[in-house]
Amino acid sequence: MPTQPRTRIAAFVSGGGSNFVAVHEFQRARGELAAGEVVLVISNTSGCEALARAIERGITCAVLANPKDGDALLSLLREHSIDVLLLAGYLALVPAAVTRAYRGKVVNVHPSLLPAFGGSGMYGRHVHAAVLASGARISGATVHFVDEVYDRGAIIAQWPVPVFEEDSPADLAARVLRVEHALLPRVVELLCAESLALDDDGTVHGAFLTGSQRDCFSLLAESSLDSELDHALAK
Residues 128-163 as b or e (16 or more Cβ within 10 Å = b)? bbbbbeeeeeebbbbbbbbbeebbebbbbbbbbbeb
Active site residues: 110
Per-residue pLDDT tens over the stretch 167-184? 999 999 999 999 999 999
What domains sit in the chain, N to C, each tagged with a CATH number?
7-233 (3.40.50.170)
Answer whether 109's CB lies under 8 Å from 142's CB.
Answer: yes
Say what the pTM is. 0.86
Count of residues in the chain:
235
Chain centre to alpha carbon of residue 185:
8
Per-residue pLDDT tens over the stretch 52-111? 999 999 999 999 999 999 999 999 999 999 999 999 999 999 999 999 999 999 999 999
